[in-house]
Structure 1
Amino acid sequence: MKSTLPSGSGGETLPTTSDVPSDPPRPDVPAGEPVSRDEAIRRAAYAAYERRGGQSGDETQDWLEAEAEVDRQHQGNE
């Protein structure tokens, strides 16, 4: 699904979150190995997606919750 910008903005269309495929965790980064913050968030968001049975529609919420979870874990390790 594409969304159109309000008139006067050039009329371009932008992809919505349903147009952007969600990436599963990267298989080239073994579990248990140190990962970047982005990779940790990606893995946590994908886990949430799997817990919902692979249903799309909540990608943004999954990502925001994953960010908060990863940040809480990082703060606890300092």
Structure 2
Amino acid sequence: MADMRLLHAYIATGEYQQALALTAAAIPGYLAAPSQRARIHLARAGTIVRDRRRRNKDPILQQLAGRIKNATQGVTP
């Protein structure tokens, strides 16, 4: 849960490189024990990434979007 909050915070503040590094630990933890709160934070982070990706074609945002989308669909990395 804390990892999802931190991931959401990193994305909201524009720290995409740190967010991408955190996904390596946060997403498998979420998939192992999903919770409603963690799902909400992941969904909000995904919305932020999706909206920002429309204006900014940064490859890090592309990777983040893919990882978040896979996690919300239950696909393991």
Under a length normalisation based on structure 1, what TM-score does the superposition of the two structures give?
A: 0.30
Which of the pair is proportionally richer in strand?
1
